[in-house]
């Protein structure tokens, strides 16, 4: 198993390198990622290349048995390039050109930039494509991150128009599909079509969605340009990956992953200015997204947070135990390698306060010791653990295009896609049900339950899969605002939930968007939630049962007594419809019943304690992760004896796990 650090040799005197390598070896580091921001060093002037610094660094790592992942440096085009070729710069929706001075200052639609990117990639690949120490490549860095996913310049617009021609064939088809008759937007020539720069009101929703699709495909084409160039010169043994972030960007990670050997992910449970980490469920969501990006294939965490992070504002200081906890959580959900960000906090530049294993003084302290413990432990059980199977029972639906459609029209000022996804993902996470995050491309057989949060932008193929899954005995959980739009972001002319109406056994004849501070109430009227009450926030679908059983009703405003949650038996299966943004207090008992009836194994644990099983009868691992910072908890282990491979201690039944405690146990055969 690879465990390493993100290292920036160019930011330290060469006299320091050997001390760094000595300490890395003391830790047991066996891989470094370097060079992803080194363009101005590697091409100090147009067409002149100088790899001497990286030659020296790579040779030093090679001599010390540390392997190297090389980043192509295209996230930071040099100053000379921007001065001579300003057309490479991105343009924001206000028509303002993004300045040189930080990073990601390029548009993937610039032909000039594509050519410079191809050349630097080729030169690096020719130089290091057969270097024994180089095991793989990372293309660029975090495509689309930091608002760089969309660019609204002239070349972007020309390419968008080309893309639309390809997509629609004729203007008539585009005009009809988009409904451009609305507000007199009918296009009579392709070059009349704008990129969605600033308007007084809001652009056509279909244009906006297609622009996001275009931006995502433009990044895929750009990445493929680098991959194709690398493959011309590197040995087959060297992998190609990219380090994604999952923040609702106009990026389609699954599509891009088809051109990568495996995907990587930058895991930051907390960042600049935040007073505390995001929830364990939100971290788990991102890992499930990673694992689902290339159909369950293992991934690298190419940047695992080790120290407090931030630029002008520093975020929460990770407590003793957090490095191990977040490392174990990553591996328990599918990470196969961990590369800690960063080795040492930089003393200059924008990231002076992005802390690492070492701080500015370069001395080994608390974080260094914790990483040492993690690596020592991973030496005991790492490879077997990362090779153990992960088979989920519950699939939770996420389509980036649905996320984009919600970003385009949130419809309530308090709607946030990730929050609402988590609302319907969290009950499964809280009960430690094993989840996958799927989109419309996966098959559903093999799952017991499919949860489909806020299925606003529908895909016919997926809706058909849901119908077949339920008919065959599966359980589907639909939520409010489902069935509204077709893939072109146009509203259905069927009574809601549109094509899902028969499946759910309901109609939604009216609905209400709730704003900040607006709350309706819901009361359980049957089943496991009878008598329970909950806030109803964000949205209320007024449900008219059409065959479905009512499980809960609204208890406020003119639609008090109207159904809010329903259950419909259809075929051999069951379809639930949750018509509002309800609390976990009512969702968990509902999900508990759903899981019990569908045979989904759950593990009840105290709030904030995450338990995950991996493997099979021969080799089964259990990770017990207490995300609580100030309290220990007792966890009832699954049946059998469980051995800590590190301490050789054997546990059975109740086991106490300390605050921020994390332990990996192996089933004692």
Active site residues: 142, 303
CB 272 within 8 A of CB 280: no
Return the sign of the alpha-carbon dihedral for residues 203, 209, 212, 213: negative
Q: Within 10 Å of residue 461's Cβ, how many Cβ atoms?
A: 10
Count of chain residues binding ligand GLA (CB under 6 A): 9
- Which residue, 171 or 245, is less far from ligand GLA as judged by CB? 245
Distance of closest approach, residue 37 Cβ to ligand GLA, in angstroms: 7
Distance of closest approach, residue 148 Cβ to ligand GLA, in angstroms: 12
Q: Does 70 bind ligand GLA (CB under 6 A)?
A: no
Judged by CB under 6 A, the residue of 30, 74, 76, 141 near ligand GLA is 141
Rounded alpha-carbon distances, angstroms, from residue 501 to 154, 172, 460, 513, 669: 44, 32, 14, 20, 49
- Which residue, 70 or 164, is less far from ligand GLA as judged by CB? 70
- Which residue, 229 or 303, is less far from ligand GLA as judged by CB? 303
Closest to 178 in 3D by CA, of 407, 454, 500, 486? 486
> What residues numbered 637-656 form the site for ligand GLA, per CB under 6 A?
none
Cα 52 versus chain centre, distance = 36
> What residues numbered 351-410 form the site for ligand GLA, per CB under 6 A?
351, 354
Distance of closest approach, residue 636 Cβ to ligand GLA, in angstroms: 37
Q: Within 10 Å of residue 373's Cβ, how many Cβ atoms?
A: 14
Cβ neighbours of residue 214 closer than 8 Å, sequence gap 6 or more? 159, 160, 163, 164
CA–CA separation, 144 vs 219, rounded Å? 8
Judged by CB under 6 A, the residue of 266, 336, 486, 620 near ligand GLA is 266
- Which residue, 341 or 462, is less far from ligand GLA as judged by CB? 341
Cβ neighbours of residue 597 closer than 8 Å, sequence gap 6 or more? 475, 574
- Which residue, 309 or 489, is less far from ligand GLA as judged by CB? 309
Q: Which helix (H) or strand (E) holds 155?
A: helix 154-168
Cβ neighbours of residue 324 closer than 8 Å, sequence gap 6 or more? 370, 373, 374, 377, 662
Judged by CB under 6 A, the residue of 142, 486, 507, 620 near ligand GLA is 142
> What residues numbered 268-287 form the site for ligand GLA, per CB under 6 A?
268
- Reported as half-sphere exposure (CB side, CA atoms, 13 A), residue 642 has a value of 20
- Which residue, 339 or 600, is less far from ligand GLA as judged by CB? 339
- Which residue, 337 or 536, is less far from ligand GLA as judged by CB? 337
Closest to 141 in 3D by CA, of 71, 224, 222, 67? 71
- Which residue, 8 or 455, is less far from ligand GLA as judged by CB? 8
Distance of closest approach, residue 378 Cβ to ligand GLA, in angstroms: 22
Site string for ligand GLA, 95-134 (x = CB under 6 A): ----------------------------------------
Distance of closest approach, residue 243 Cβ to ligand GLA, in angstroms: 6
> What residues numbered 585-614 form the site for ligand GLA, per CB under 6 A?
none
- Reported as half-sphere exposure (CB side, CA atoms, 13 A), residue 662 has a value of 26
Distance of closest approach, residue 560 Cβ to ligand GLA, in angstroms: 48
CB 386 within 8 A of CB 336: yes
CB 218 within 8 A of CB 109: yes
CA–CA separation, 645 vs 637, rounded Å? 16
CB 140 within 8 A of CB 71: yes
Q: Does 660 bind ligand GLA (CB under 6 A)?
A: no
Closest to 174 in 3D by CA, of 206, 198, 144? 206
> Residue 474 in 3-state DSSP?
coil
| CA-derived radius of gyration, the chain | 26
Phi/psi of residue 13, nearest 5 degrees? -60, 140
Site string for ligand GLA, 323-352 (x = CB under 6 A): ------------------x---------x-
Distance of closest approach, residue 340 Cβ to ligand GLA, in angstroms: 11
Greatest Cα-to-Cα distance within the chain, rounded to the nearest angstrom: 76
Strands (E), 471-558: 475-479, 506-513, 520-524, 533-545, 549-554
Site string for ligand GLA, 468-507 (x = CB under 6 A): ----------------------------------------
Strand order in the sheet with 67-71: 239-241, 134-138, 67-71, 31-34, 2-6, 335-341, 299-305, 264-267, 243-244
Cβ neighbours of residue 617 closer than 8 Å, sequence gap 6 or more? none
- Which residue, 149 or 303, is less far from ligand GLA as judged by CB? 303
Q: Does 309 bind ligand GLA (CB under 6 A)?
A: yes
- Which residue, 359 or 549, is less far from ligand GLA as judged by CB? 359
Distance of closest approach, residue 356 Cβ to ligand GLA, in angstroms: 10
Query: Interior CA angle at 519 toward 513 and 525, to 5°?
Result: 100
CA–CA separation, 625 vs 608, rounded Å? 8
Q: Does 140 bind ligand GLA (CB under 6 A)?
A: no
Distance of closest approach, residue 139 Cβ to ligand GLA, in angstroms: 13
Distance of closest approach, residue 247 Cβ to ligand GLA, in angstroms: 11
Q: Does 303 bind ligand GLA (CB under 6 A)?
A: yes
Strand-pairing partners, residue 634, are 656
Q: Within 10 Å of residue 17's Cβ, how many Cβ atoms?
A: 16
Distance of closest approach, residue 311 Cβ to ligand GLA, in angstroms: 8
Rounded alpha-carbon distances, angstroms, from residue 460 to 11, 464, 498: 52, 6, 11
Which residue sits closest to ligand GLA, CB atoms considered? 266
CA–CA separation, 641 vs 87, rounded Å? 64
Strand-pairing partners, residue 576, are 477, 567
Distance of closest approach, residue 572 Cβ to ligand GLA, in angstroms: 46
- Which residue, 266 or 553, is less far from ligand GLA as judged by CB? 266
Distance of closest approach, residue 252 Cβ to ligand GLA, in angstroms: 19
- Which residue, 69 or 193, is less far from ligand GLA as judged by CB? 69
- Which residue, 33 or 487, is less far from ligand GLA as judged by CB? 33
Query: Interior CA angle at 269 toward 660 and 102, to 5°?
Result: 145
Residue ranges in contact with ligand GLA by CB under 6 A: 141-142, 266, 268, 303, 309, 341, 351, 354
């Amino acid at each position: 198993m690879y465990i390493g650090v993100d290292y920036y040799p160019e930011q330290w005197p060469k006299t320091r390198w050997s001390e760094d390598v000595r300490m890395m070896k003391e830790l047991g580091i066996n891989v470094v990622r370097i060079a992803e921001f080194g363009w101005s060093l590697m091409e100090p002037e147009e067409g002149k290349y100088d790899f001497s610094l990286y030659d020296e660094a790579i040779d030093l790592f090679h001599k010390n048995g540390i392997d190297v992942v090389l980043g192509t440096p295209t996230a930071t085009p040099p100053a000379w390039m921007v001065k001579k070729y300003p057309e490479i710069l991105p343009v924001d929706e206000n028509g303002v050109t993004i300045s040189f001075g930080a990073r990601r200052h390029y548009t993937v639609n610039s032909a000039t930039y594509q050519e410079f990117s191809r050349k630097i990639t080729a030169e690096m690949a020719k130089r290091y494509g057969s270097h024994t120490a180089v095991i793989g490549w990372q293309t660029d860095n975090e495509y689309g991150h930091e608002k760089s996913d969309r660019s609204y310049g002239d070349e972007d617009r020309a390419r968008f128009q080309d893309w639309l021609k390809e997509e629609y064939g004729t203007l008539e088809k585009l005009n009809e599909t988009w409904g451009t008759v609305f507000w007199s937007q009918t296009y009579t020539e392709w070059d009349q079509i704008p990129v969605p720069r600033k308007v007084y009101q809001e652009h056509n929703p279909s244009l906006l969605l297609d622009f996001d699709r275009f931006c995502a495909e433009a990044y895929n084409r750009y990445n493929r340009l680098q991959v194709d160039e690398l493959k011309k010169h590197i040995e087959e043994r060297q992998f190609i990956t990219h380090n994604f972030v999952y923040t609702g960007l106009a990026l389609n990670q699954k599509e891009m992953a088809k051109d990568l050997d495996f995907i990587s992910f930058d895991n930051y449970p907390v960042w600049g200015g935040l007073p505390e980490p995001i929830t364990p469920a939100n971290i788990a969501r991102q890992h499930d997204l990673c694992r689902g990006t290339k159909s369950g294939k293992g991934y690298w965490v190419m940047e695992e947070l080790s120290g407090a992070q931030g630029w002008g504002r520093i975020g929460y200081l990770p407590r003793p135990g957090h490095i191990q906890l977040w490392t174990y959580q990553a591996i328990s959900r599918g990470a196969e390698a961990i590369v800690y960000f960063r080795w040492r906090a930089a003393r200059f530049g924008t990231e002076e306060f992005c802390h690492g294993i070492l701080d500015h003084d370069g001395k080994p302290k608390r974080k260094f010791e914790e990483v040492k413990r993690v690596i020592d432990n991973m030496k005991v059980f790492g490879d077997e653990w990362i090779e153990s199977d992960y088979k989920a029972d519950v699939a939770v639906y996420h389509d980036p295009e649905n996320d984009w459609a919600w970003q385009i029209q949130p419809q309530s000022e308090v709607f946030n896609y990730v929050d609402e996804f988590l609302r319907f993902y969290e009950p499964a996470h809280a009960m430690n049900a094993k989840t996958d995050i799927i989109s419309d491309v996966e098959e559903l057989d093999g799952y017991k339950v499919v949860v489909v949060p806020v299925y606003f932008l529908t895909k016919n193929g997926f809706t058909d899969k849901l119908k077949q899954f339920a008919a065959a005995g599966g359980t589907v959980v639909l939520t409010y605002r489902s069935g509204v739009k077709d893939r072109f972001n146009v509203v259905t002319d069927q009574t809601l939930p549109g094509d899902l109406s028969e499946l759910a056994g309901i109609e939604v004849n009216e609905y209400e968007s709730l704003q900040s501070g607006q709350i309706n109430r819901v009361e359980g009227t049957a089943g496991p939630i009878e008598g329970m009450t909950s806030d109803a926030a964000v949205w209320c679908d007024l449900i008219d049962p059409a065959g479905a059983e009512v499980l809960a009703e609204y208890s406020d405003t003119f639609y008090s007594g109207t159904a809010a949650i329903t259950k419909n038996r259809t075929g051999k299966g069951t379809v639930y419809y949750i018509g509002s943004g309800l609390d976990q207090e009512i969702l968990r008992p509902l999900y508990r019943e759903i899981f019990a009836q569908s045979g989904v194994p759950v593990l009840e644990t105290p709030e904030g304690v995450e338990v995950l099983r991996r493997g099979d009868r021969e080799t089964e691992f259990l990770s017990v992760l207490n995300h609580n910072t100030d309290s220990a908890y007792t966890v009832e282990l699954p049946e059998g004896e469980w051995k800590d491979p590190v301490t050789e201690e054997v546990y059975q039944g109740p086991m106490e796990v300390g605050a921020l405690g994390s332990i990996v146990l192996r089933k004692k055969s």
